[in-house]
Structure formats: structure tokens, C-alpha cells
Amino acid sequence: MNDDQLLRYSRHILLDELGIEGQRKLLESHALVIGAGGLGSPVALYLGTAGVGRITIVDHDTVDLTNLQRQIAHDMSRVGRPKAESAAQSIGEINPEVQVVALSERAGPERLDELVAGADVVIDCTDNFTTRHAVNAACVKHRKPLVSGAAIGFDAQISVYDTRQPDAPCYACLFPPDAAFEEVRCATMGVFAPLVGIVGSMQAAEALKLLAGTGESLAGRLQMLDARSMEWTEIKTARSPDCSVCKAR
């Protein structure tokens, strides 16, 4: 690291759990962020400020006025612009050293298979089960750790799905693709603005720990937040022997 990097990342370097080696790992890492909305905004910004060397952001949508209540990577001047490009610009304004690739596209299974293969960690910030399952399948196939978050109304959840660990579940172990889950969206249900900031920041933290090789991840644990009372609930999770995705590995 050069002198400017030693200064910029000094508060990380001072941490015994990170230090120069941990920061160097971040600088050499590649994170794939899928979704640049409420969750993806804090994820992208914190990964960028922390010095993750390469960040790929995928989002097919454009910035809308209704997004600005919670999607902090965007502002009024970018209404109508692709969200991926807007998030990349925000990262660049804070940390121009980070290499950001903004992909303004809806990534299907084949494209996700290609993108996930080249990443060190994948952060799922999407809002629908179809995409989440496609992301999970690619992560299982390529043995990439997946940090998944979700938020709607005043309720949220977060976990890490890391099938490099023999007993850790994948997303499909907990939420089978053929199960009948009710799909709800912010446009119809609403979402408490700070909630996505809380969960997105936690997703960034989990991703950074995985990349730096420090701490204990949320693999095998699902945390759920009721923001009405600010009460966290955690349940232990395990790999399902009947999971079609894990069994197909």
C-alpha cells in the first residue's frame, strides 16, 4: 500500500482483527453487488469506502423520485439515470481508487453464472424470489459466499449462505424454490427508510469480514429484525438433505 492508502484506511489498519494484511485482502478483492436500491446503496457505499478493490454493481432499473426516501446512493440530479451508474458515481466521489463496473441490465441465470464465477463474494440486494434463487444457484455452483438481505415494511432479515462450509445451508435450504411464498414489494407495502440502511450496512459488514478473513460470519444463522420494537430474533439453520440446489452441486 502507498502512503495515501495507509492514511485513508488507517482506522481499519489500527484494528488487530484487520491490520495491513486484512486491508490488503480487501484491496485485492472483487465483490458482486446485485441490486442498487435500498439495500444495495449502503452496501455499495461501504464496500467502496472500505477499499474493496473491484466492485461490480448490477441493476436494470433507473432512479425514481420515490427511491430517494431510502436509496442513499442516489440524489435528485440523477432521477432517470440507471441506478448502477448512479451508485458507481457515488462510490467514485468518495473513493476514486476503487474500480467499479456498473451493469445496467437484468441478469438472468446464464449471466449470473458468468458474473458470480469471477467474484470473491456476492451480495444479494434484490427484492424478488426468482432472482434470489438464481443468484443462490450460481453461488452454490461456484462455491462463492452469498450475503443475502431483505426488508419490507418494518421487518427485515439477513444471513450468509456459504456452502464452502460442509454443514452450512444455501438460500434454497431455507426457502425452497417450489414453496409458495407471498411476494410483496415496497411499491405496495412500503418500507421504513432506515431499515434498509440497517440491513444493508450489516450485509456490507458480513461481506468485508468474509473478504478479509476475520470474525465469524452469519452462515448457519438467520437474523430477523422487527424495527417496530427494534427486537432481533436469531434462529440456527442447517443444510437440508432434500435441497434440490445443494444436492445438485
For the stretch 186-203, pLDDT in tens is 667 899 999 999 999 999
**Distance between CA atoms of 138 and 13, rounded to whole angstroms?**
33
Q: How many CB atoms lie within 10 A of CB 202?
A: 21
Q: What is the pLDDT of residues 90-138, one digit of tens each?
A: 999 999 999 999 999 999 999 999 999 999 999 999 989 999 999 999 9
Q: How confident is the model at residue 249 (pLDDT cuts 50, 70, 90)?
A: low
Give the predicted TM-score (pTM) of the model. 0.95
Pairing of strands 30-34, 54-58: parallel
Torsion of CA 243, 220, 139, 73, to 10 degrees: 130
Q: What is the pLDDT of residues 169-190, one digit of tens each?
A: 999 999 998 876 666 666 678 9
- Contact (Cβ atoms closer than 8 angstroms) between residue 127 and residue 150: yes
What residue segments make up the domains of the chain, in order of their start? 3-247
Helix 129-142 to helix 109-117 angle (10° resolution) is 40
Pairing of strands 30-34, 121-124: parallel
Q: What is the pLDDT of residue 75?
A: 97
Q: What is the pLDDT of residues 42-101, one digit of tens each?
A: 999 999 999 999 999 999 999 999 999 999 999 999 999 999 999 999 999 999 999 999
Q: What is the pLDDT of residue 247?
A: 74
Active site residue 139: no
Sign of CA dihedral 170, 175, 177, 183: negative
- Neighbouring residues of 144: CB distance < 8 A, sequence distance ≥ 6: 116, 117, 119, 120, 121, 122, 138
CA diameter of the chain: 54
Q: What is the pLDDT of residues 141-158, one digit of tens each?
A: 999 999 999 999 999 999
Q: Where are the alpha helices (DSSP H) in the chain?
A: 3-8, 10-13, 19-27, 40-50, 83-94, 109-117, 129-142, 171-174, 186-189, 193-212, 244-247
Range 3-247: architecture per CATH: 3-Layer(aba) Sandwich (3.40)
- Contact (Cβ atoms closer than 8 angstroms) between residue 20 and residue 14: no
**Distance between CA atoms of 87 and 29, rounded to whole angstroms?**
19
CA atoms lying within 13 Å on the CB side of residue 44? 36
Q: What is the pLDDT of residue 105?
A: 96
Average pLDDT for residues 1-16, to the nearest whole number? 95
Which of 125, 139, 186, 243 is an active site residue? 186
Q: What is the pLDDT of residues 193-248, one digit of tens each?
A: 999 999 999 999 999 999 999 999 999 999 999 999 999 999 999 999 999 898 75
Q: What is the pLDDT of residue 220?
A: 96
Q: What is the pLDDT of residue 179?
A: 76
